[in-house]
Amino acid sequence: MSDVVGDLARTTPDAPVLARLSRLDRFLPVWILAAMALGLLLGRGVPGLDDALDAVRVGEVSLPIALGLLLMMYPVLAKVRYSELDRVTGDRRLLGASLVLNWLVGPALMFALAWLLLPDLPEYRTGLVIVGLARCIAMVLIWNDLSCGDREAAAVLVAINSVFQIVAFAALGWFYLQVLPGWLGLSATSADFSVWAIVLSVLVFLGIPLVAGFLTRTIGERTRGRDWYESRFLPRIGPVALYGLLFTIVMLFALQGEAITSAPWDVVRIALPLLAYFALMFGGSFLLGLRLRLGYARTATLAFTATGNNFELAIAVAIGTFGVTSGQALAGVVGPLIEVPVLVALVYVSLWAGRRWLPDDPAVPMRSTS
């Protein structure tokens, strides 16, 4: 959907877009749910598969998942018009709102929901706090592209989140797990975070596809021109992002399938604060974008970059700090189980809200299905 909806809808907003979508794009939610189910069945039904998938790692992330993430992110970052990034960096409203939502509101909201809804489950509660601290730098680019958000703005916000993640993750973990609970008379949790693991996560999952995407666009435009690059080359590599997404989901749930299926009631308990978090973060961020009059594309980008979480980092930190069989690790694993279908649904919510509240915005896609 990223190429067809994103590019066609921007140029011909009144075209019958849905009729022109490929089968992969039109039934994307079905394929994602099928990928999740397949991964869970493989993880549960194939003995030793999780150990085999986890045998080789990139940092703290399984190699197959790492490869899927790189395949998923490269086409999206190859679409970014890097020569236009200056128009994003000059928008102080967007940058300021993103920083506040990601590094003040998001962690605080997850902390509050974890304590309100899991007061009797300290391990799961701690795992959710870690999820709230891991701001999204990977899959959010897919959700932003599917919702026809501003690609250049997403690239800038993801880069800023990456820098803050390196600088602030450990400090915020200390604050939310030890300092703030002490101030409120709640039980504290000791945790040591590996700064190197955070740096490696950023360098691999953002740095490699970012450099590859930048070089691809630069070389492609210089040798063949922008028209050829955007009309001929990008449509060819566009589906790779969705294939990478589906492959990543299968591998992720195959790796953690047994952990998820062996404790269904615990998964439900963990899911409740996550569902509340995603709904509140997305709704609040989208309304803030409308209030700031950012337009549809940047409002969608603001909402998705504030709502998504870096589950790869959260799982890696939880496993590295508390162990692979810990409740904290299970909470991290449940994160993408809830996040993936919810954010796919929010893509459609974003498109619906744009058509309803911003009918005259040329960036709003799929105005007519006739």
* Predicted confidence (pLDDT) per residue in 39-49, tens digit: 888 888 888 87
Tell whether 368 is covered by a domain.
no
pLDDT score for 287: 97
Are 180 and 111 in contact, with CB atoms under 8 Å apart? yes
Residue 225 pLDDT more than 90?
yes
Question: 253 falls in which pLDDT band (50, 70, 90)?
Answer: confident
Tell whether 366 is covered by a domain.
no
How far is CA 35 from each of CA 187, 199, 247, 251, rounded to the nearest angstrom? 39, 29, 8, 9
Tell whether 76 is covered by a domain.
yes
Tell whether 369 is covered by a domain.
no
CATH at 310: 1.20.1530.20
Residue 223 pLDDT more than 90?
yes
Are 111 and 328 in contact, with CB atoms under 8 Å apart? no
**Distance of alpha carbon 175 from alpha carbon 32, whole angstroms:** 36
Closest CA to 48 of 250, 316, 258, 324: 258
Tell whether 365 is covered by a domain.
no
Question: 25 falls in which pLDDT band (50, 70, 90)?
Answer: low
Block residue for tokens 């909201």: 109
Tell whether 367 is covered by a domain.
no
Tell whether 48 is covered by a domain.
yes
Pairing of strands 57-58, 61-62: antiparallel
Q: How many domains in the chain?
A: 1
366 DSSP 8-state letter? -
For residue 87, the enclosing domain spans: 2-357
Tell whether 362 is covered by a domain.
no
pLDDT score for 369: 30
The vertex-278 CA angle with 97 and 172, nearest 5°, equals 60
pLDDT score for 24: 65
